[in-house]
Amino acid sequence: MENLSPTEFIDCTSDEVLHHTREVTAGLTSFRAKAVSLYYAVRDGISYDPYRIELTREAFRASTILKKGYGYCVAKAIVLAALCRACGIPCRLHFADVRNHLTTRRLREMMQTDTFYCHGYNDINLDGRWLKVTPTFNLSLCERFKVKPLDWDGTGDAVFHPFDTEGRRHMEYIRDRGSYADVPYDEIVELFQTRYAQIILSQKTHTPVGAFGREGQEESESSPTLKTK
């Protein structure tokens, strides 16, 4: 089954992935319990960082991302897919274009848009049902941005909330790009080079680790609460 098999990028049989999977799921017996534990391990254990996007093939491998300990939405989805497959849980990648209203000022200036193209998340199959799961924003980042953390119990979908904890617009899905058994590498690279040239260029400026979270916290603390009607 293609959604259980190792691929170039979802290298679920690599030593790094297998070791991490065993650590996270130790003592758990059901597929649901394992999937939930893996979700939180990726959500909170891999720091979200949209400033350090690398476009090499190696950078898109789950084992590489695990070693680094950080990544953006696509990277985190790749890791979750690999960990689930290592446990025998069918998992695939899902992509969509989303409009994010709660990005930082600096990231908006670099992107020159509030649309995030090819946002990555996962489809996980439990009990014969495909569930949509988004492990992107870690808990500490949500607290800084005043966004409710996205929890998951393995029984339904876990997608971004439309509003944050203060009633402001948070996330809108505007185009579904479909599901994939492996990373559509060439398509993503071409899209990112076209849409996110300034972010890719920032790789050479050595953006500090954690800069995105600090920017979000500073802006949240300095901005008045805006209630959405």
pLDDT tens digits for range 180-192: 999 999 999 998 8
Residue 152, in any domain of the structure? yes
The C-alpha atoms of residue 210 and residue 104 are separated, in whole angstroms, by 13
Mean pLDDT of 142-151: 83
Query: Quick check: is 2 in a domain?
Result: no
The whole-number pLDDT of residue 224 equals 46
- Residue 157 belongs to a domain: yes
> What is the average pLDDT across 129-133?
97
Residue 6 lies in a domain: no
Cα distance between residue 102 and residue 171, in whole Å: 8
Which carries the bigger pLDDT value, residue 106 or residue 20? 20
Write down the pLDDT at residue 115: 82
Mean pLDDT, range 66-79, rounded to an integer: 95
Q: Is residue 172 part of a domain?
A: yes
Cα gap 207→205, rounded to integer Å: 6
Q: What is the mean pLDDT of residues 157-162?
A: 81
Answer whether residue 8 is part of any domain.
Answer: no
**Which CATH number do you get for residue 177?**
3.10.620
The reply to whether 229 falls in a domain is no
* Number of domains forming the structure of the chain: 1
Kindly report, residue by residue over 2-11, the tens digit of the pLDDT: 899 999 999 9
Domain region containing 163: 15-222
Q: Is 217 exposed, middle or buried (0-12, 13-18, 19+ CB in 10 A)?
A: middle
Q: Could you tell me the two tokens for 206?
A: 């050595």
Q: How confident is the model at residue 25 (pLDDT cuts 50, 70, 90)?
A: very high
What pTM did the predictor assign?
Answer: 0.86
Residue 199 counted as domain residue:
yes
